[in-house]
Structure 1
Amino acid sequence: MEAGVSDAGFSGSNYTWCNNRQGRARIWKRFNRVLLNLEALQIGSSILVQHLSRDPPDHALLLMTAPTWLDNKPKPFRFLNVWTTKAGLLDVIHDSWSCPMSGQHLCVLAIKFHTIKQVLKGWSRESFGNIFRAVKEAERAVLEAEVAQEQDSARWLKDGDRNSKYFHAVVAERRSRAIIHRICDSNGEWVKAEEHISREAISFFQRLFTAEPCSSSSEFLDTIPKLVTDGDKTQLMEPPTMAEVKKVVFSMDGESAAGPDGFIGKFFTFVCDVVAEDVYKAILSFFCGAELPRSITATTIVLIPQVQCPQDFT
């Protein structure tokens, strides 16, 4: 970026040139590359560069495409702490949460969470407007401040009006590098479509986190000293009290990252009096062996490339 251009990255072989000699005399280099200026980084498309086959020439051909990744997917719900500064929020939550509902306690809790999310989305649009646009503008301002701290302050004073273009170029470059354009699946085939990449990611992590069958180790239990008394066992198996649950809830960090359901610690402490009974009943059901609904056991996978131009998920 110091020269006003940045490397577009690549997918495929690490090298684009070979002197075609044998043995230790062979040399591999990446001579061919695509450089993007500030304008190219801001066109709204992410440039994909593929290193094609080199055989028989010594230089590999580069295939450059500019696919458009539309950010038009539904936005996941996130409870924002700023909502708690608005008068009337607690009443809105209370009116929605108090609707009578029957069923297993864990399922009732999951349904109420789903319902309250829809209510809060509508309330937020009426009270705060387009919150996502405001968040993007705030994120852009934070990123500009972070970049500025990494640079020599004298340079920024000297460049003057050019700072804005530089900031936006850095933002665009970082976002471009975070996009996975194609990936090699478990069969060795390249997949490019966004939905195929997502499906391959889910498949990879399902295999990664699925336990393999193993032989029983019960015969080894007799070799472990028994340090837990019968009284300790009884105490460990007792369901928690409401006071213990509240203690845990209020020890949660109110600014912590939200889970897949979008709720954070601040939500539970803010509406504790409203949701405490339903949450406590659901926790007791869990300790009694009730099956957890899928909406509660769900997790979120966020793909953040740790290397430039990843080829697979390993």
Structure 2
Amino acid sequence: MHGSEHFSRNPRPEWQMRAFREVIEDCSLQDVGWTGVPFTWDNRQAGQANVKSCLDRALENEEFLQRYEHISVRHISTTESDHCLVLAEFRKTLNGVRPRPKQLRYENVCQSHVDYDKIITESWLQNQASNGLQGVVDSLQSLQRDLEPWGAKEFGCLAKKVRKLQQKLYKLRRQSVGRGPSTEEKSIVKQLREALRQEETWMRQSSRVRWLKEGDWDTAYFHAQAAQRKRINKIANLRRLDGSVCVNEEDDKCEVQAFYQNLDTSQGLCDLGELLDFVPEKVTMGVNELLTNPFSSEEVREALFHMAPSKAPGVYGFTAGFSSVI
């Protein structure tokens, strides 16, 4: 698919790789990804005659991605064949992993509720015991406690809600053959329309697809994007510098702590004056004075409103979209 997946003294023509990528896109497939050795085929020749390439890969469509949440592909070296073994494992649930408590993640769909402004205002004012930044922190903590059960009660599982409404509408329309829609049927249609809009808003935020506007009602696509992003961001295990793998949560904590301790440890100071003499000046005195000036509330507001609404969740789980609303 890409030039980095082929090694030889003669590079792979770009038009061939582009044609392969277009075929995958036309078939609505996407690469699963892999772990292990980077090339699945090696001609075992010596010197400049050696050629390596990633010929074998695993692809998936949206239906497969929705059915199996946990998918992993490994390249396993062999002694007899010039190809690697490709081992694909897929499970609906991930065994051996203890669920961790989830932090509140603010959902844009909450803004569609008729009582949203009232809930936010009351919770914010009732629990603001202090002034200044401490008061903001107190209000955010209270909102975190209040919004989670309220959102679960009012919205619940939107996909299940949509299915139930569709089933009700199906039964009502079967019973209304030969006559116009009843009052109950009109009410169910209105509820279903709103539930579909809420489901799309929720899936769109989960998928982080910003270049599509709400209103397409293509929730299957959004779900596939969200599942793909979740799998890409998933860390299966941590590997130490010596090649060994962390086997439990305590090992993971120690490895992460050691990594950042080494990263932040000073390597010693040296005179950089001679090196800096050759670096062109980019930040002038005027620019430096502008950058060091105290920021104003208008600058904060402008920066906040230019952020994507579903991005940058803070410590308490509230995104930029929530901050711009309040």
Query: Taking structure 1 as the reference length, what is the TM-score of the superposition?
Result: 0.51
Cα distance change on mapping 1:137 and 1:61 into 2, 3 Å: same
The CA distance in 2 between the partners of 1:267 and 1:91, in whole Å, is 16
8 Å contact 2:77–2:85 — kept in the other structure? yes
For 1:35, which of 55, 59, 65 is the aligned residue? Answer: 59
1:130 and 2:156 equivalent? yes
Aligned-residue offset at 1:118: 1.0
8 Å contact 2:209–2:222 — kept in the other structure? no
8 Å contact 2:128–2:136 — kept in the other structure? no
Written as runs of structure 1 = structure 2, the 5 A alignment for 1:67-216 is 67=91, 68-69=93-94, 73-78=100-105, 82=111, 85-87=116-118, 89-98=120-129, 113-125=140-152, 128-130=154-156, 137-140=200-203, 172-191=227-246, 200=255, 204-205=259-260, 207-208=262-263, 210-212=264-266, 214=268
1:57 and 2:81 equivalent? yes
Cα distance change on mapping 1:92 and 1:259 into 2, 3 Å: closer
Query: Which stretches in structure 2 are left out of the alignment for 5+ residues?
Result: 1-23, 160-194, 272-284, 286-291
**One-letter amino acid matched to 2:304:** D
Partner deviation per Cα, 1:230-282 (whole Å, 9 max, x = no partner): xxxxxx9xxx9xxx9866776662575332133467877887xxxxxxxxxxx
For 2:304, which of 236, 239, 253 is the aligned residue? Answer: 253
Aligned-residue offset at 1:167: 6.8
User: 1:47 aligns to what SS in structure 2?
Assistant: strand
Cα distance change on mapping 1:17 and 1:146 into 2, 3 Å: same
The CA distance in 2 between the partners of 1:270 and 1:169, in whole Å, is 29
Query: Which stretches in structure 1 are left out of the alignment for 5+ residues?
Result: 150-162, 218-226, 228-235, 272-314
User: 1:253 aligns to what SS in structure 2?
Assistant: helix
Higher relative contact order (CA 8 A, sep 6+): 1
8 Å contact 2:70–2:90 — kept in the other structure? yes
RMSD: 5.1
User: Hey, what does 1:15 align to over in structure 2?
Assistant: 39
Aligned-residue offset at 1:22: 1.7
**One-letter amino acid matched to 1:47:** I
Query: Taking structure 2 as the reference length, what is the TM-score of the superposition?
Result: 0.50
Aligned-residue offset at 1:10: 1.4
Aligned-residue offset at 1:48: 1.0
The CA distance in 1 between the partners of 2:226 and 2:323, in whole Å, is 34
8 Å contact 1:16–1:54 — kept in the other structure? no
The CA distance in 2 between the partners of 1:78 and 1:183, in whole Å, is 26
For 1:262, which of 317, 321, 324 is the aligned residue? Answer: 317
Report how many aligned residue pairs link the two structures: 233
The CA distance in 1 between the partners of 2:103 and 2:55, in whole Å, is 42
